[in-house]
Structures are given as C-alpha cells and as structure tokens.
C-alpha cells in the first residue's frame, strides 16, 4: 500500500494559471487546416477558426496562447499580417514542409482567437532579422490608445479601434540556435538594446528573455548577469527556457522499456528547473526573473499522425504522451514558486498536440484530457506532497476544495494508495476522474475519436484508491 502525504501547512505558492498555456506556431498544419479553415469554408467556423476546436479549447480554460513562433517568429514581419492585401512569403519552415505563408492569420485574427477561448496573448517578437524600432512599431500598432498615433489609427481602420491586451512579450526565440546562433553574452546585449527601445511603448507588460535549451546551463550563466544594466537592475520578468523530452522508440508501437525511457527523460524537467533557478538565485535575480517554459513536450519521429507526414512534426498522442503531460504539469505545480508560465508544444497537428484536425475531422488527444483533468489547479495554492516514486503527484487548495492529481508512472503494475492529510480535515466522500486504458498504446483517431476518454467515479477519502498502470486521476474532495 502506497501513501500520498498532503502537508497543508507547507504551501509552495500560487499556481499561476499560465502554467497551463499553449503554443501555436505557423508551421505545418497548426494553422492552415488545423485552427484556421477560413471564413468561407463549409467547415463550421467562428470568424475563420474551426468551431469545434475553438469550443473544446475554451472548455479547458486555456490561460495563454503563445504566437507566432517558435522559429517562425525570427523571420516574421508583423506588417504582412494586417490589412486587406496580404503577401505570400517563404517562412522559416518553407524549406522543410514546402508550404508558403499566406498570412491569412495575423495580429487581428490571433487576437480574435484569444478572445474566443478566453486566453491571454503572448507575442514572440523577432529579434534576429529586424530592428528594435520594427517591434516598437508593432507595439505601437497594438497597444496605443484609440485615436492617438498614426499606427493606432491604422489599427482602427483595420477593424479594432481599442488597443489590444497583450500582457506578455518574448524578445527573441531560441537565439542559441535558429534565432541567430548567438553567444549568450551577445544575446544579452541585444536583449538590453531591444528592451530599452521597447519599454516606453509596452505599457504594463512582462518581457521575457530567451532562456536555455535543455541542459545548456552555460547559456543561463551567460545571459542572466548580462541582463543587468550598469546599476545592476534586470529589465526582464522571465527567462524563457525550452525542454523537449524527445522520443523513445516508435510513437505508437513502443515497448515497456521505451515507456520507462521516455518517462525518465520527462522527469528531467524537474532537475532542469531547479538548476536554472539556482543559477538565477546565484546572480541575485530571483526577485525579478521567473522561469518561463516556453516550449515543452515529446518529440517523436514524423509521420504517425493522420496526415501521414504531410503536416510537419505531426504525431499521434497515446496514453504515454498523456502520462508525460501529467508528470510535467505536476512538476510545474510543485515548482510554482519558480515557474511563471509554461506552454506545451503544440496545440494541433504537431508535437505533443491536444487536437488532430483535417478537413471535416477534429478530435482531441489523450493529452487534451490531461489538461481537462488538471484545470482546477489554475490559480490554486499548491501544497507540499510526499509520495512513492511510482506516483507523480501534485495537490492544491482553492475555494474550500482539495485537488490531487496523480499519475501511475508504471506501465507494468497497478497502484493502490491512501491520502494522508496533515493539517487538513476532509469530507468523507470525494469525486474523481480517471484517464486510463487497458492498452497503453491506445490513442484517438478520426475513425475512433473517443477510444481514450476519462470516466467519473466517487471515492472514500479515508480508504485506498486504486490507479491502473499508466493511469491518471484527478481527485477532488471538500475541506471541512
């Protein structure tokens, strides 16, 4: 019998809703035939966006959407995506997927989507191929009050008189790689140059500096002190690190050993967060600079999704991918004092996606259901948990209720556990939702869209709870 200890006096901090964010890039099938079908499409849509996807995304309370990249951002010109006459361009990904960017979705359309689903906007700004003034003009266009500047009047002419609400701006993306192959010290200088020019156009905005790739702590050591001005002040609110746990065998036909391998890779997220945070603290930046996990998730070989390789990086999402999502979100919850935001990559028809869509078809993946099970953590107070290594757990308190999310990391053995509450009195009965399947390779397809879906159940708070191998549960019980 395993035990999960809930140590209520040991509060970690508030779980920022933005830990449950999403990333949508102009790549492959993410936008075109994914999110965007066009206003004149026979496929039901809301102002051009796929209606079914919009409604299902809204249901899981997405707190933030990051756009337009990714690597796409580093060659993006925002002016291509406004007005009536929009150019078709090559993009960062044209050489990989053979597609050209029609710019049908630009600033106004993206902000429409945010409004539809109730998400905040996070713009990834180009640092590599444009000047600071170019991005400052984008901010002027988006944020200046109605009727003030020439660009604000242009925005009004294009259909949005009032300024957009864009609280988060990233300055550069993966500048250690596709974003210029910069040295950390050079990037830090460039960041300060951009931030100096952008600040007075940004209003009440959080700026995020490009963080490290996986375990590249040399980047962290080089960038963090370089963000300081001559008076020692840091003009950034976030350090936007990326970590993909990658692959282990076939996306669908994996072995038990490959299950274990991928779970172990996903668990490294915790060590990466801790070490980056320790470096930030060592440079005295912990009161100003929080971690932003801009991109995270599995990265399997191409071709396992329904487009059979047409959509670049599209992959199927099995119960193994759902477990990686559950494990990762638990890590974020347990380190919510360090992590300000996280965005899973990506939303649809790509890596670790929540949706697969094409033509008239639109389905949710097992990963979608994990975000649905976990959505109650948003804005809650995280409390300390102690559990057996077989279990991935996080817990939070909000509105007089305790929410415990648990993943059985074993692909071989079921788990039975009890909730041991220290400092909390719990009601006798609780409500649970379980995401599990007898076949851990199970996934949803256009032909079987509901093969994997959660089921509701009730449990006794003082009695053992059983969790199947590879199963994920959300347990909610009232505090008395």
**What contacts 108, CB < 8 A, 6 or more positions away?**
81, 82, 158, 159, 160
Reply yes or no on whether 174 is catalytic: yes
Cβ atoms of residues 458 and 431 within 8 Å: yes
Q: What is the rounded distance in angstroms from the CA atom of residue 164 to the CA atom of residue 145?
A: 9
Q: Whole-angstrom Cα distance, residue 349 to residue 367? A: 13
Residue 115 CA to residue 47 CA, distance in Å, equals 12
Looking at 74, 237, 295, 314, which residue is catalytic? 295
Instruction: Identify the sign of the CA torsion 24, 30, 35, 37.
Output: positive
C-alpha 316/C-alpha 247 separation (Å) is 12
- 167-186 per-residue burial string, b: 16 or more CB within 10 A, e: under 16: ebbbbbbbbbebbbebebee
Instruction: Work out the number of other CB atoms within 10 angstroms of the CB of residue 442.
Output: 18
Cα dist from 65 to 290, 340, 349, 403, whole Å:
18, 14, 16, 25
H or E element, residue 184: helix 184-202
SS (H, E, C) 156-168: HHCCCCCCCCCCE
Hey, which residues does 387 pair with through a beta bridge?
4
User: How far, in Å, CA of 299 to CA of 297, rounded?
Assistant: 7
Cα 28 to Cα 72, 110, 398: the distances in Å are 11, 17, 39
CB contact at 8 A, 348 and 354 = yes
Task: Show the CA angle centred on residue 107, arms to residues 35 and 349, nearest 5°.
Answer: 20
CA count, 13 A, side-chain hemisphere, 31: 22
- Taking the CA atoms of 244, 60, 29 and 106 in sequence, report the sign of the dihedral they define: negative
Within a 10 A sphere around the Cβ of 390, how many other Cβ atoms?
16
What are the residues whose beta carbons fall under 8 Å from the beta carbon of 233, sequence distance 6 or more?
Answer: none
What residue has token string 């905005």? 205
Q: Which residue, 327, 351, 374, is CA-closest to 470?
A: 327
| Length of the chain, in residues | 480
Determine which one of 18, 174, 190, 314 is catalytic.
174
Query: What is the DSSP secondary-structure string of 204-245?
Result: S-EEEEEEEETT-HHHHHHHHHHTB-TTS-B--SEEEEEEEE
- Which positions are catalytic? 174, 295
């Amino acid at each position: 019998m395993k035990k999960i200890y809930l140590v209520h006096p040991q509060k970690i901090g508030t779980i920022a809703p933005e830990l449950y964010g999403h990333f949508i890039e102009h790549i492959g099938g993410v936008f075109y035939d994914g999110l965007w079908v066009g206003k004149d499409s026979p496929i039901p849509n809301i102002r051009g966006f796929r209606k079914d996807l919009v409604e299902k995304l809204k249901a899981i309370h997405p707190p933030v959407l990051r756009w337009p990249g990714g690597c796409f951002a580093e060659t993006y010109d925002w002016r291509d995506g406004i007005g009536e006459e929009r150019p078709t361009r090559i993009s960062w990904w044209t050489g990989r997927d053979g597609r050209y960017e029609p710019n049908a979705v630009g600033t106004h359309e993206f902000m429409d989507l945010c409004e539809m689903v109730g998400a905040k906007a996070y713009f990834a700004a180009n640092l590599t191929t444009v000047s600071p003034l170019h991005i400052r003009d984008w901010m002027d266009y988006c944020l200046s009050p109605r009727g003030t500047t020439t660009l604000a009047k242009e925005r009004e002419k294009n259909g949005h008189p009032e300024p957009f609400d864009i609280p988060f701006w990233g300055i550069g993306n993966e500048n250690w790689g596709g974003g210029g192959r910069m040295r950390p010290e050079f990037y830090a200088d460039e960041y300060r140059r951009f931030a100096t020019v952008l600040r007075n156009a940004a209003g009440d905005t959080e700026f995020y500096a490009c963080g490290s790739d996986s375990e590249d702590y040399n980047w962290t050591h080089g960038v963090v002190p370089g963000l300081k001005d001559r008076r020692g002040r840091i003009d950034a609110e976030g350090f936007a690190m990326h970590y993909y746990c990658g692959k282990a065998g076939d996306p669908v036909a994996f072995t038990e050993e490959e299950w274990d391998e991928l779970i172990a890779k996903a668990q490294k997220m915790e060590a990466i967060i801790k070490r980056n945070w320790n470096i930030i603290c060592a440079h005295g930046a912990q009161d100003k600079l929080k971690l932003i996990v801009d991109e995270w998730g599995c990265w399997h070989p191409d071709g396992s999704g329904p487009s059979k390789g047409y959509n670049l990086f599209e992959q199927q999402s099995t119960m193994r991918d759902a477990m990686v999502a559950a494990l990762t979100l638990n890590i974020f919850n347990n380190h919510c004092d360090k992590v300000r935001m996280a965005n899973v990559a990506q939303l649809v028809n790509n890596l670790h996606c929540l949706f697969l869509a094409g033509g008239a078809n639109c389905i949710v993946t097992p990963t979608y259901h994990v975000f649905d099970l976990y959505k109650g953590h948003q804005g809650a107070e995280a409390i300390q948990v102690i559990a057996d290594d077989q279990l991935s757990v996080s817990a939070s308190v909000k509105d007089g209720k305790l929410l415990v999310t648990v993943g059985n990391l074993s692909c071989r053995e079921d788990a039975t556990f009890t909730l041991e509450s220290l400092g909390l009195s719990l009601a006798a009965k609780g409500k649970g939702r379980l995401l599990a399947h007898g076949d851990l390779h199970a996934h949803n397809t256009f032909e079987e869209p509901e093969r994997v879906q959660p089921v509701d159940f009730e449990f006794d708070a003082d009695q053992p709870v059983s969790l199947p191998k590879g199963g994920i549960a959300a347990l909610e019980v009232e505090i008395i």
